[in-house]
């Protein structure tokens, strides 16, 4: 597809033109923690995050329920020259078969809203080493305008996904399995730059709105209107090892 054709079919993808703040945050996190780590890309899809982790110096494992996606991920890792640093398996994320305390890092890139978090969280804690970290990247389910858009575009997501966008209730559930849970919020006024994405003024408009968000999204309550959140889980409360 051309870019225009792609945007017509996947009309929600246009919003990701404004997500450079989360891209920068994720890349800084990988640069800090990935070198020398054993990492898991939890529900890896086509393996893009797995490849990023490997390029940052991790031995990276990727799992997905789809055999087709796992095969694609392995091919893309080979094309990227990191096949020796990546390992892919077909696996049910709610019932993973990895040994306990195997991973230094686990990355959940927009996948928890596809899962039962009460099944996922204890497994994430079990697989994580005592000093390890989990980075979760998720949409946030409070903003009424964003929720209206989701309800108006059911063809862009599954019925389960629409009804399970995360709120702080699901984030707080992680406290049963991790002693430390920290949240950061991204994108409120920044979204207003999307209509300008193909114009010459896009970058200055985006920069201005990013600066506004940096201030506004420090305010409790207002934070909940953000489009996305990144939350980090650490200090796992381990269940008995397998």
Q: Tell me the average pLDDT across 99-115.
A: 96
Structure tokens given for 71: 């095969």
Residue 60 pLDDT exceeds 90: yes
Structurally, how many domains does the chain consist of? 1
Contacts of 214 (CB under 8 A, 6+ apart): none
Does 187 fall in a domain? yes
Query: Given this model, what pLDDT does residue 57 score?
Result: 98
Does 242 fall in a domain? no
Does 238 fall in a domain? no
Q: Write down the mean pLDDT value for the chain.
A: 94
Q: Are 55 and 80 in contact (CB under 8 A)?
A: yes
Structural domain containing residue 86? 3-232
Structure tokens given for 209: 């709105």
Does 225 fall in a domain? yes
Does 237 fall in a domain? no
Residue 126 in 3-state DSSP? helix
Q: Tell me the average pLDDT across 100-117.
A: 96
Does 118 fall in a domain? yes
Does 172 fall in a domain? yes
Tens digit of each residue's pLDDT (9 = 90 or more) over 167-213: 999 999 999 999 999 999 999 999 999 999 999 999 999 999 999 99
Does 173 fall in a domain? yes
Residue 3 pLDDT exceeds 70: no
Q: Cα 40 to chain center, whole Å?
A: 13
> Which helix (H) or strand (E) is 23 found in, with range?
helix 20-33
**Which CATH number goes with the domain that contains 115?**
3.40.50.150
Query: Given this model, what pLDDT does residue 156 score?
Result: 79
Tens digit of each residue's pLDDT (9 = 90 or more) over 124-137: 999 999 999 999 99
């Amino acid at each position: 597809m051309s870019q225009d054709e792609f945007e017509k079919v996947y009309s929600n993808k246009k919003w990701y033109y404004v997500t450079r703040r989360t891209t920068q945050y994720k890349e800084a996190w990988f640069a800090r923690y990935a070198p020398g780590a054993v990492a898991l890309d939890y529900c890896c899809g086509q393996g893009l995050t797995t490849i990023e982790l490997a390029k940052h110096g991790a031995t990276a494992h990727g799992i997905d329920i789809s055999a087709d996606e796992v095969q694609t991920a392995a091919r893309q890792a080979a094309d990227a020259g990191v096949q020796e640093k990546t390992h892919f398996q077909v696996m049910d994320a709610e019932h993973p078969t990895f040994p306990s305390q195997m991973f230094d890092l686990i990355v959940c890139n927009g996948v928890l809203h596809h899962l039962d978090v009460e099944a996922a969280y204890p497994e994430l804690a079990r697989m994580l080493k005592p000093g390890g970290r989990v980075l979760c990247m998720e949409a946030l389910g409070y903003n009424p305008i964003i929720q209206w858009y989701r309800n108006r575009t059911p063809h862009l997501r599954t019925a389960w996904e629409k009804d399970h966008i995360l709120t702080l209730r699901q984030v707080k559930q992680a406290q049963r399995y991790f002693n430390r849970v920290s949240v950061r919020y991204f994108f409120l006024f920044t979204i207003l730059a999307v209509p300008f994405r193909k114009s010459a003024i896009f970058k200055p408009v985006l920069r201005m709105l990013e600066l506004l968000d940096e201030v506004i999204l420090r305010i409790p309550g207002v934070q909940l209107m953000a489009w996305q959140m990144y939350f980090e889980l650490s200090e796992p409360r381990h269940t008995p090892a397998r």
